[in-house]
Structure 1
Amino acid sequence: MNDHVASTALDPVITRYLAHRRALGRQYDMQERTLHSLTNFLVQAGESDLSSGLFESWCRMFESLTANVRRARQVAVRNFCLYRQRTEPRCFVPDINRFARTQPPPAPTILTPAQVGQLLELADTREATATSPLRPYVLRLALVLLYTAGLRRRELVRLTLADVDAHAGVLRVRESKFHKSRWVPLSCGARRELCRYLVHRLATPLDTTPSSPLLCNMHHGLRGYTGSGLRRGIMELLHDAGIWDVDGRVPRIQDFRHSFAIEVLMRWYRQGADVQSNLPKLALYMGHVSIVSTAYYLRWTPELQELASNRFAKQFGYLVRGEQR
């Protein structure tokens, strides 16, 4: 989507609307970009306000995108129009029945420790470049933190040196989803990877001020990796490793977060822990408001099924066999 370069009569209303939604704890970054795309379109069309025909024309600009993305943008505009309608009853409001129909998201690909190990080996073979002198080290640390700490991609690229306590093995995630901040303790292995990375990151001539990005490159001066740049690097590793699901689909970056959650559950089963009572701890670690959000990541895999079934058989198998204790 283009940056907002135009001004319309809708701008003050959009500003108030975004402030209202963010006061409720929402980030609304995607919605802001969508609304600015719409106002830019209106200016280019020589129009000052939205109508049914203009809305349809704007929607045709992104017909090549997935149905879910198209609908999300259409809903963002409709919600804004509903807000505007409170003070301007005659304003146009899009008909939700004409929006793109949502499609179920693809099932996540759960990565195994062996596959992640393969990706780490490939990351070591990547060559540094003039614009990305830390490329192999960045990719390796990113894989470790995505898989062992379950970080969101946006959380990872926003980390600064001030957010890292390598001695204690803790990361500070600032104002993530729903403006929630949290501390993320790292495993012993992830802490070692972080320390190894910092040896290169803190070397001259890179900027080592606390506010500088943890994952950085040298494109037009030192700056942090973008989410899309990190995604490209990891997707290349996945392609080269030949990792895909039964439908030939390469895992997405968010699949590392799914894999983290499943691996935590399997570890608890192997340790004999009370999985149900531990779920709030997992929700807290992943930055969720409640375990309802965490449940989205808890897929029923064959490995998890076997562990759960074995525990049930050990505890209550005598009932199935008709035995007495």
Structure 2
Amino acid sequence: MFEEKLLEPHFTSVLAPYMLDVVEQKRALGNKYNAGVEALSAFDDFCNEQQLRIPAISKELLQKWEKKRPHENETTQCFRISYVRILCKYLHSNGYDAPCAFHPAPHVNKCFVPYIFTKDEIERLFSAVDCTKESSESPLRHLVMPVLFRLLYTCGLRVSEALHLKVADVDLDAGVLAIYGAKGDKERLVGISDSMLTYMKSYRSNPLVANAKSIYFFPAPDGGFYDTSTIYDIFRKCLFDAGIPHRGRGKGPRLHDLRHSFAVHILNKWSSEGKDIYTCLPILRTALGHDRITTTEKYLRLVPEAYMEVTEPFNERFHTITEVLCNEE
């Protein structure tokens, strides 16, 4: 059912033949490896910038590559490092100089506490997004942004997944999104709520959108897809207009926190309906596209005050135990 096009590698550095070998090996095992192609392409450009002349990766070169960049989050940093480490191991196994191939990767602090929007903040944010102005440079922006931001929240999408959605990937009759080439080259189907579906149908029926010459569901002014940085800039402005303060770098709210908020809010909803949360977790895992159920389980303990409704049903059950422990102390 899913036939995502493989990215064609275009490497030009002295390491190009070896990068191609790595990609071919991974694809021979059944992996699309599109994410690997993207990461290795960036490293290929880096090698050219560093004027690498021999097929070897020195400790100094690797340290420069692994260094955290301005405005780069820890996940992106780990992403860059991991794929080049695979290349290092390949070079080492073929007799080339890659002394750091099996050295421990640098420690990257990936611990963070996401910002969970309250329902009131979500409403205020959407109201601010609805005030997006039309401009001659971006004639569809005022139509795109209200739908895009609501889709990020109501379907728990990663922003890259939403921006790369094509018209052909959205089935408005069945109410289903087909997500291709997501994190880890995963593919999945995501259901759309009735209210969101109505919103999306209205958006697509607008003549300006319907007549846009683009394959993308959210077409940028050039007919391609929007850059994530553009969406983030709009997000920050809307936060300000909505009276939601930004707490500083690494503390949010981040654009990705709309996805986190979706997960926590849906857990709250299921709990209030009396559903067994752990029975429902596999459903949420599938919707979010997580590899492991343990990743989804983290939403149960990320921000305790944000999901009080989930833990409240257990308070009465363990109330007596809590009293005994308190008395013993």
Give yes or no for TM over 0.5.
Answer: yes
Which residue is 2:128 aligned to? 122
Q: Report the alpha carbon displacement of residue 73 of structure 1 after superposing the two structures with TM.
A: 3.5
Of 80, 85, 91, 1:84 maps to: 91
1:6–1:39 contact (8 Å) kept in structure 2: no
1:220-258 deviation per Cα after TM superposition (whole angstroms, max 9, x unaligned): xx2222333222222321233232466684411211111
Q: Report the alpha carbon displacement of residue 260 of structure 1 after superposing the two structures with TM.
A: 0.7
SS at match of 1:279: helix
Equivalent residues in 2 for 1:1-325 (5 A)?
A: 7-22=12-27, 23=29, 25=31, 26=33, 27-42=35-50, 45=51, 47-50=53-56, 52=58, 55=61, 58-59=64-65, 64=70, 68=74, 72-88=79-95, 90-94=96-100, 100-200=106-206, 203=209, 205-207=211-213, 212-219=215-222, 222-244=223-245, 249-298=251-300, 299-305=302-308, 307-315=309-317, 317=319
Identify if the C-alpha distance between structure 1 residues 318 and 273 changes in structure 2 by more than 3 Å, giving closer, same or farther.
same
Unpaired runs of 5+ residues, structure 1, are none
Identify if the C-alpha distance between structure 1 residues 20 and 113 changes in structure 2 by more than 3 Å, giving closer, same or farther.
farther
> What residue identity is the alignment partner of 1:136?
H
1:69-104 deviation per Cα after TM superposition (whole angstroms, max 9, x unaligned): 55654443333111111112x413337769654123
> What residue identity is the alignment partner of 2:49?
F
> What residue identity is the alignment partner of 2:313?
R
Which residue is 2:327 aligned to? none
1:150-194 deviation per Cα after TM superposition (whole angstroms, max 9, x unaligned): 011121011111122223322222242333322211112211221
Distance in 1 between the 2:298 and 2:37 partners? 23
1:17-52 deviation per Cα after TM superposition (whole angstroms, max 9, x unaligned): 12333546343244223321233124xx36233353
Distance in 2 between the 1:263 and 1:62 partners? 33
1:52–1:92 contact (8 Å) kept in structure 2: yes
- Which segment is superposed worse, 160-169 or 69-78? 69-78
Distance in 2 between the 1:60 and 1:188 partners? 45
Unpaired runs of 5+ residues, structure 2, are 1-8, 325-329
1:121-158 deviation per Cα after TM superposition (whole angstroms, max 9, x unaligned): 11222211223212122111111111111011121011
SS at match of 1:217: coil
Task: Provide the aligned C-alpha RMSD in A.
Answer: 3.2
- Which segment is superposed worse, 113-122 or 225-234? 225-234
Distance in 1 between the 2:77 and 2:13 partners? 23
- Which segment is superposed worse, 269-278 or 54-63? 54-63
- Give me the identity figure in percent: 24
> What residue identity is the alignment partner of 1:82?
K
Distance in 2 between the 1:175 and 1:5 partners? 19
Q: Report the alpha carbon displacement of residue 63 of structure 1 after superposing the two structures with TM.
A: 5.6
Q: Report the alpha carbon displacement of residue 67 of structure 1 after superposing the two structures with TM.
A: 8.2
1:231–1:253 contact (8 Å) kept in structure 2: yes
Q: Report the alpha carbon displacement of residue 113 of structure 1 after superposing the two structures with TM.
A: 2.0
Distance in 2 between the 1:104 and 1:269 partners? 29
